[in-house]
Amino acid sequence: MAFSAVLTSEWTKIRTVASTSWTLALALIVTAGFGALISTAVAASFDDMSQIERATFDPTLVSFAGMQFGQLAMIVFGVLVVSTEYSTGMIRTSLAAVPARGGFLFGKLTVATVLALLVGLLTSFVSFFLSQAILGDHGTGLDGENVLRAVVGAGVYMALIALFSMGVASMLRSSVASISILIPFFLIVTNLLNAFEATREYGQYLPTAAGSKIMQVVPNAMGSAESPYGPWGGLGIMLLWVAASVLGGYLVLSKRDA
């Protein structure tokens, strides 16, 4: 089967499964919604901030305060894109139609990642403009230094979360197992390791901790701990994690039976 036909097939699969569409919509709503709520709280308490907090105040980063929750929907999206075929048994039909397993997996990941990127960029721009409107005089604009990089980077970050999740799901081939590992890993383990100085040197190299740096405009924003890398270095670390995940998914798919 030609690669263009693989792409068309994967697009048809994704858009005809209601759960994937809902998870993408939820990613946008949750990220923008929580970002707006937190921006409202920040605007109301700005005068009560400490001197350090004001000096390192990053209105762009505040826009993405809801990313912690919105990325969970992206994790579920990435997992469902891959694991649904295993749970329904359709993976056998798909591999019979596309015997080249590398082409099959690459086609699936390409379509889903492009879709996640489009939704991610829409989410990041909506979150940014909504939060800046709420912050008012404390906000910033896209013409600010490095602001556009941070906003676009937030959308790329969401797409990479989805792609990483697809790689893990390709290895585990189970929705329950993948979600049970990914959500605690991102939501609990990463935050726990970065909460303590003794473990922060390890936690800061985990994918979300490193990748989220691309959303910062102000160094050490909001009084956060200093890191040994900048926004692009952090994104590079996340890309390595994603590459390892996708490679692992490919190796499992190429060596195991459907």
Answer yes or no: are the C-beta atoms of 13 and 83 closer than 8 Å: no
- Please tell me the distance from the alpha carbon of residue 241 to that of residue 236, in angstroms, as a whole number: 9
Q: CA geometry: angle at 188 spanning 182 and 191, to 5°? A: 120
The pLDDT of residue 171 is above 90: yes
pLDDT tens-digit series, residues 32-55? 999 999 999 999 988 888 888 788
Report residue 258's pLDDT band, with 50, 70 and 90 as the boundaries.
low
- Please tell me the distance from the alpha carbon of residue 86 to that of residue 83, in angstroms, as a whole number: 5
Q: What is the predicted pLDDT for the residue at 1?
A: 62
Report residue 83's pLDDT band, with 50, 70 and 90 as the boundaries.
confident
Claim: this prediction has a pTM higher than 0.75: yes
The pLDDT of residue 14 is above 80: yes
pLDDT tens-digit series, residues 205-253? 999 999 999 999 988 777 677 788 999 999 999 999 999 999 999 999 8
Q: What is the dihedral of CA 89, 94, 99, 102, to 10 degrees?
A: -100
Q: What is the predicted pLDDT for the residue at 29?
A: 96
Distances (CA, A) of 143 to 47, 59, 60, 186: 25, 13, 12, 32
pLDDT tens-digit series, residues 110-162? 999 999 999 999 999 999 999 999 999 899 999 999 999 999 999 999 999 99
Please measure the distance between the N-terminal and C-terminal CA atoms of the chain and give it in whole angstroms: 19
Q: What is the predicted pLDDT for the residue at 99?
A: 73
Q: What is the predicted pLDDT for the residue at 48?
A: 82
Report residue 91's pLDDT band, with 50, 70 and 90 as the boundaries.
confident
| Residue ranges in 89-185 assigned as alpha helix (H) | 90-97, 101-135, 147-172, 175-184
Q: What is the predicted pLDDT for the residue at 257?
A: 61
The pLDDT of residue 17 is above 90: no
- Please tell me the distance from the alpha carbon of residue 176 to that of residue 162, in angstroms, as a whole number: 16
- Please tell me the distance from the alpha carbon of residue 31 to that of residue 242, in angstroms, as a whole number: 22
| Amino acid type, 71 | Q
Q: What is the predicted pLDDT for the residue at 223?
A: 64
Is 99 strand, coil or helix? coil
Answer yes or no: are the C-beta atoms of 77 and 120 closer than 8 Å: no
Least confident of 2-11, 37-46, 53-62, 177-186: 2-11
Q: What is the predicted pLDDT for the residue at 233?
A: 96
CA atoms within 13 A on the CB side of 237: 21
- Please tell me the distance from the alpha carbon of residue 188 to that of residue 221, in angstroms, as a whole number: 21
Answer yes or no: are the C-beta atoms of 143 and 221 closer than 8 Å: no
Q: What is the predicted pLDDT for the residue at 54?
A: 82
89 backbone φψ class: left, alpha, beta (φ>0; ψ -120 to 50): left
Residues 18-33: b if buried by 16+ CB within 10 A, e if exposed: eebeebbebbbebbbb
